[in-house]
Amino acid sequence: MALLTQAPKGTQDLLPRESAKWRTAEEVMRSEAAVHGFGEVRTPVFEHTELFLRSVGDTTDVVEKQMYTFEDKGGRSVTLRPEGTAGVARAMLEHAMYNDGLPVKVYYHTSCYRYEKPQAGRLREFHQFGVEMFGAAQPAADAEVICLAKGIFDRLGVKNLTLELNSIGCPTCRARYHEALKAYFTGRKDELCETCQSRLERNPMRILDCKSPVCSKIAEGAPVILDYLCDDCRDHFESVKQYLTEAGVAFTVNPTIVRGLDYYTRTVFEFVSNDLGAQSTVCGGGRYDGLIEQMGGKPTPGLGFGLGMERLMLILQAQGIELPEDKPCEILLVSMGDAASRRAFALCDQLHRCGVAAEVDVCGRSLKAQMKYANKLGAAFTMVLGDDELQQGKAQVKNMKTGEVSTISLGETFMQEYLAVTTQMPGLTD
């Protein structure tokens, strides 16, 4: 029975009270993205596996260990998306979005899937808000994307976040860096985990991102990418920092940031919190100027970020930031008898069409039980309908907080009288 009554490991349910908070946060994100000129894009939950092999990188933990990959009934290999960028980049190419002018600026809310060891802030099904910008090579674009992320945190009231920056260069300067890393790690090859030993020749930068405590310790003494940047990459990074400084955005340079996906180039960044324990990164991103060409398109610069929703909600909780829940029931129409029940239903429908959060009893409760239900709902008002009320064509609206009552018509003027009475009664928005 556990398979029927428990969510799969690494997943979680969002019940109405929590999902309401998520929607509030998501609306802040949508709003901030919109003022920066970004429009929403929605992509499939699964893609051809080759898309992630070519974009994310076959030496990454995501591809090597974490992807949910399977064959469909047509014998095609498909993968549940482990991140959002690759699918958006594919959509940009497939639909030639660049024909509408550059830069292409899009955002998304999406679910992602990775076979990970579940823990706080790290699930097998997780949710991301992300933005992508294609066609902008200037450092100002890097700064804008970073400022967009910061704007979201600021509007939500999140505190104690640190913006950490790094540059991982371009293919030209990274080649020299790779040789330096190979030379360093070769001397301690036998101490590396099996995965990192295989990465040593193929992509030694991936060793820097290994979660093994032993590999992480060895990596602390590794050469730093900033010492190997070419002039163009160094100038780009300096300019990004100048734009951020001009905008009043504080940051620190962290030369150990490489991000976990192979498509990144030049600027990479993370927003880090001390309120998340080991899972300290709540938002990360950077440039991926070679991704579109790697996928078969024309050389097109790109950049973006992904913000983890689960981690964001943990931060909000840790910092005591309360997001609005759904508006509670405004009025419960209490009924006694079949005729009153039908009339209450019709009146409730009128209220709904005017945007009023109203409910009627659909469980056959007694009068006493319906009043208890009103308290459980947190209803601001109740209105009791019985044979007497139907005969008179009038009923009393009761303020559940103050006990004040007002009589209103059940006829054609019902809606007008209801609104007039309830807007005058205190307690609706207290």
User: What does the pLDDT read at residue 52?
Assistant: 92
Structural domains in the chain plus CATH codes: 7-170+230-318 (3.30.930.10), 331-424 (3.40.50.800)
User: What does the pLDDT read at residue 429?
Assistant: 47
Phi, psi dihedral angles at 358 (to 5 degrees): -125, 155
- Verify cis geometry, omega within 30 degrees of 0, for the bond prior to 204: no
**Residue corresponding to tokens 């610069």:** 301
Q: How far apart are CA 360 and CA 40, in angstroms?
A: 37
- Residue pair 207/215 in contact (Cβ under 8 Å)? The answer is yes
Residue numbers in the chain where pLDDT is lower than 50: 429-430
The string of pLDDT tens digits covering residues 38-51 is 999 999 999 999 99
DSSP label of 328: P
User: What does the pLDDT read at residue 146?
Assistant: 98
The string of pLDDT tens digits covering residues 212-226 is 889 989 988 899 999
User: What does the pLDDT read at residue 430?
Assistant: 45
- Residue pair 131/305 in contact (Cβ under 8 Å)? The answer is yes
